[in-house]
């Protein structure tokens, strides 16, 4: 699928670079085009060459777009052929009003990184028309630098589904990012893969749409304890903090999440992996007409009806998308092991990504997390809720590592039951114990979830108490008769 170069997708001083070894090439996987744009070594399209005397040759530009239309010199003697970079076929020369006519060069140099790797064949030289009296020579045609993605090129995720790392180049409108249809920003770009999760994060009652943009030629690595047992050791013993089945998304990936209240879009967030170690989050606020969204420079609160919606700052995005939880949060095998209704019909999401060739190896299937609102027993549903909403911070290697609320952690190892609180001890309104068997009222876990101010959990991104979630956790605490 051919795409125009996205707004702001260019290279220059101030960008963060990540190594890239593959040549850019467009590919179709199961009807979906997944695109990568490599900068760095990639040159911009060469300017249109004019015929004239002794034009200096341009450097070769591989994997370029079609060259510009060469023009005959407005006057001048017969010029030498000017060779542009190899790209698409050179444009047809336009007859000059003066001069004996020059030979038009090949198509000018390559577009940035080949725009998703559209390899252009070398442009053919075509003769310029001749007419008119001789005059001064026309300027030689310039060509772009090499269009190949050089080592150290800045990697983007798809034909525009990205925000450049340099802040003054960030698309200010969502419609300029390439993550949505620019003619209808309420629709995701066709290159994005929609998905859903089994145990969602509470977002103050907002409905959500989720999409993933994966760069062409890259693969998702899934944490597999059977194949890589050392990664599944404890963090203290050298293991990694992410859960088994965590999807390690490649550099250039962009996650898109749309938030809706009462059916109206209010916010779209982009979470981008820009290097091996760096992620960036961006918040776009939708206008009242629902036609586009604008990038916010900082956090913001806005009233919608009876509730206040919080738009996070960029640092707040990463305060919840913690390194210990793997940053991306949602895409894990246990979360993604579910059916989704795609345009072509319903399909298991793991099967979908396998069909797209998105994994570096076929990951083992892991049982899905129970839906907190489903029919599983109360222990499984409550543990699933705590995993999705609390374990992003309360886990080894994350913000609060002295409590482990992950789904897979045995209850005895959660440091929860009859454990004295270790934060805000001077707040006498806060129960002293994290969890008291059979007693939600005297359990700080329940107290914090019910609170609307002060010691409320979660600390960020929520101003509305989750009535169903608190009822589930209270039911779970009540069902516990003793500590292990």
Residues 350 and 203 in one domain: yes
186, 158, 16, 111 alpha-carbon torsion, rounded to 10°: -120
Residue-range definition of the domain harbouring residue 238? 166-355
User: Does the pLDDT value for residue 40 go beyond 80?
Assistant: no
What DSSP assignment string belongs to 313-352? PHHHHHHHS-TTTTS--S-BHHHH-SEEEETTEEEEHHHH
What's the pLDDT score for residue 396? 85
Give the Cα separation of 194 and 342 in Å (integer).
Answer: 8
User: Does the pLDDT value for residue 5 go beyond 60?
Assistant: no
Where does the pLDDT of residue 42 fall: very low under 50, low under 70, confident under 90, or very high at 90 and above?
very low
Residues 340 and 468 in one domain: no
Is residue 476 helix, strand or coil?
Answer: helix
User: Does the pLDDT value for residue 358 go beyond 50?
Assistant: yes
Where does the pLDDT of residue 53 fall: very low under 50, low under 70, confident under 90, or very high at 90 and above?
very low
Q: At what angle do helices 467-479 and 378-389 cross, to 10 degrees?
A: 130
Of all helices (H) and strands (E), which one includes residue 293? strand 293-295
User: Does the pLDDT value for residue 44 go beyond 80?
Assistant: no
pLDDT: which is higher, 420 or 320:
420
pLDDT in tens, 299-327: 899 999 999 999 998 888 777 777 777 77
Residues 331 and 403 in one domain: no
Residues 350 and 379 in one domain: no
- What number of CA atoms fall less than 13 Å from residue 391's CA on the CB side? 26
Quick check: is 311 in a domain? yes
pLDDT: which is higher, 25 or 203:
203
Give the Cα separation of 246 and 236 in Å (integer).
Answer: 19
User: Does the pLDDT value for residue 165 go beyond 90?
Assistant: no
What's the pLDDT score for residue 168? 67
Q: With beta carbons less than 8 A apart as the criterion, state whether 176 and 8 touch.
A: yes
Residues 444 and 323 in one domain: no
Highest mean pLDDT among 130-134, 139-143, 210-214, 462-466: 210-214
114 phi and psi angles, rounded to 5 deg: 80, 10
Quick check: is 19 in a domain? no
Residue 237 has a CB neighbour count (10 Å cut-off) of 8
What's the pLDDT score for residue 166? 66
Give the Cα separation of 273 and 348 in Å (integer).
Answer: 25
Residues 206 and 347 in one domain: yes
Residues 321 and 231 in one domain: yes
pLDDT: which is higher, 478 or 144:
478
Residues 296 and 381 in one domain: no
Q: With beta carbons less than 8 A apart as the criterion, state whether 315 and 348 touch.
A: no
Residues 412 and 350 in one domain: no
Query: Model pTM?
Result: 0.66
Of all helices (H) and strands (E), which one includes residue 448? helix 444-450
pLDDT: which is higher, 323 or 30:
323
Average pLDDT over the chain reads 73
pLDDT in tens, 255-297: 999 999 999 999 999 999 988 888 888 999 999 999 999 999 9
Quick check: is 7 in a domain? no
**CA 473, 474, 477, 478 torsion-angle sign:** negative
Please say which residue of 355, 387, 407 terminates a domain: 355
């Amino acid at each position: 699928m051919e795409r125009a170069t996205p707004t702001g997708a260019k290279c220059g001083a101030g960008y963060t670079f990540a190594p890239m070894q593959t040549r850019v090439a467009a590919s179709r996987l199961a009807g979906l085009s997944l695109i990568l744009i490599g900068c760095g070594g990639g040159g911009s399209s060469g300017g249109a060459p004019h015929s004239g005397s002794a034009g200096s040759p341009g450097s070769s530009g591989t994997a370029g777009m079609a060259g510009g239309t060469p023009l005959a010199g407005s006057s001048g003697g017969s010029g030498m052929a000017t060779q542009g970079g190899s790209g698409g076929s050179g444009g047809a020369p336009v007859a000059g009003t003066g001069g004996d006519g020059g030979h038009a060069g090949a198509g000018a140099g390559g577009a940035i990184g080949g725009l998703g790797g559209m390899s252009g064949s070398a442009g053919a030289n075509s003769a310029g028309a001749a007419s008119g009296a001789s005059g001064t020579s026309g300027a030689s045609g310039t060509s772009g630098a090499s269009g190949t993605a050089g080592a150290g090129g800045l990697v983007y995720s798809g034909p525009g589904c990205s925000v450049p790392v340099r802040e003054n180049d960030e698309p200010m409108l969502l419609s300029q990012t390439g993550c949505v249809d620019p003619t209808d920003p309420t629709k995701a770009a066709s290159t994005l893969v929609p998905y859903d999760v089994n145990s969602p994060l509470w977002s103050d009652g907002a409905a959500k749409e989720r999409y993933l943009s994966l760069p062409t030629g890259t693969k998702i690595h899934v944490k597999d304890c059977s194949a890589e047992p050392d990664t599944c050791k404890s963090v203290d013993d050298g293991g990694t903090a992410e859960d088994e089945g965590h999807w390690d998304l490649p550099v250039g990936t962009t996650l898109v999440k749309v938030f809706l209240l009462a059916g109206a879009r209010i916010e779209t967030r982009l979470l981008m992996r820009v290097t091996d170690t760096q992620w960036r989050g961006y918040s776009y606020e939708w206008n009242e007409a629902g036609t586009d969204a604008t990038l916010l420079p900082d956090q913001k609160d806005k009233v919608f009806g009876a509730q206040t919606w919080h738009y996070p700052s960029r640092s707040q995005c990463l305060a919840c998308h913690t390194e210990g939880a793997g940053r991306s949060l949602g895409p894990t095998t246990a979360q993604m092991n579910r059916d989704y209704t795609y345009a072509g019909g319903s399909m298991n999401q793991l099967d979908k990504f396998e069909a797209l060739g998105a994994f570096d190896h076929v990951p083992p299937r892991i049982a899905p997390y129970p839906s907190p609102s489903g029919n599983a027993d109360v222990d499984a549903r409550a543990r699933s809720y705590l995993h999705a909403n609390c374990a992003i911070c309360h886990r080894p290697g994350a913000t609060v590592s002295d409590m482990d609320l992950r789904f897979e952690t045995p209850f005895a190892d959660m440091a929860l039951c009859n454990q004295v609180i270790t934060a805000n001890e001077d707040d006498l309104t806060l129960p002293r114990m994290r969890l008291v068997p059979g007693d939600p009222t005297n359990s700080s876990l329940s107290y914090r979830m019910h609170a609307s101010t002060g010691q409320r959990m979660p600390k960020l991104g929520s101003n509305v108490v989750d009535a169903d979630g608190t009822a589930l956790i209270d039911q779970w605490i009540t069902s516990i008769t003793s500590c292990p």
